[in-house]
């Protein structure tokens, strides 16, 4: 079995300055200290980074445990709880807003926090870009990702790079019915655009290298958080703020 690296980007809005504007530095430091002491120092993580995007507390967790790992998800969940305690104590805006349950169920999916994970085999050169949005929907990434991985007028490598000319496969989610379909570009480009243009319902979830059947950890190119907070809560509790 090949050695893989997993990057888990987990975020939640658990309190901010009035108006959903920005996470106070004290909350960021509480969360960072928790991730370092309970994650990095105890061997769960190989690296991490904590930051904010507007009123969202964000974590980039690098580890060797694969996607959907309970220990990694619990690490982030417990950190959000600690930050929420501070937010409630200081009567901050929207304290604990994205935590839809008081108890951890083994996975943060469906419990409020947003998450995008990618397990991959590291290559000699493997730059990794993390994008975070505030006050928008998962489909906010539809057009940028299409332009990067399917539009040759944007990405010249799709024409001149032998590894890229085979194109990419896009896994698209129906965020309400939790159905998915995979479409290959350039072969199914028009059908893909017809779906992802309906941004209220369809969002790109994963992108893989097209062509020969490679294991997912060798072909994955992008991962997007498609959780809908309001669908999980059954009522409007704020925007989804995807990563």
Which residues are designated catalytic?
13, 236, 239
CA distance 153 to 28: 40
Instruction: Report yes or no: 172 and 204 within 8 Å, Cβ to Cβ.
Output: yes
* Rounded Cα distance, 129 and 49, in Å: 13
Do residues 185 and 201 lie in contact, with contact meaning Cβ atoms separated by under 8 Å? Answer: no
* Six token digits for residue 107: 């996975």
Which pair of tokens denotes residue 226?
A: 């498609």
The two three-digit tokens of residue 34, written as one number: 């928790």
Report the C-alpha gap between 96 and 67 in whole angstroms. 25
CA distance to 137, 152, 157, 189, per residue, from 147 (Å): 18, 8, 12, 11
Q: Which residues pair with 208 in a beta bridge?
A: 169, 220
Q: Tokens in use for 188?
A: 């199914």
């Amino acid at each position: 079995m090949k050695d893989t690296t997993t990057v888990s980007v987990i975020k939640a809005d658990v309190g901010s300055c009035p108006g959903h504007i920005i996470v106070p530095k004290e909350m960021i430091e509480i969360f960072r200290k928790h991730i370092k002491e309970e994650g990095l120092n105890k061997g769960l993580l190989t690296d991490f980074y904590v930051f904010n995007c507007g009123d969202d507390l964000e974590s980039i967790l690098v580890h060797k445990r694969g996607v959907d790992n309970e220990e990694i998800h619990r690490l982030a969940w417990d950190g959000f709880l600690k930050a929420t305690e501070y937010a409630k104590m200081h009567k901050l805006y929207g304290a604990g807003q994205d935590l839809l349950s008081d108890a951890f169920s083994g996975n943060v999916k469906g419990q409020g926090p947003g998450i995008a994970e990618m397990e991959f085999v590291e290559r000699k050169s493997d730059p990794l870009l993390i994008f975070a949005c505030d006050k928008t929907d998962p489909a906010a990434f539809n057009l940028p990702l299409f332009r990067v991985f399917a539009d040759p007028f944007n990405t010249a490598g799709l024409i001149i790079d032998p590894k890229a000319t085979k194109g990419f496969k896009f896994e698209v989610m129906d965020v309400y019915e939790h159905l998915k379909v995979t479409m290959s570009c350039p072969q199914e480009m028009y059908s893909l655009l017809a779906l992802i243009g309906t941004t209220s319902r369809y969002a790109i979830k994963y992108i893989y290298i097209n062509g020969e059947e490679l294991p997912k950890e060798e072909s994955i190119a992008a991962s997007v958080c498609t959780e809908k907070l309001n669908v999980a809560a059954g009522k409007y509790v704020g925007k989804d703020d995807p990563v």
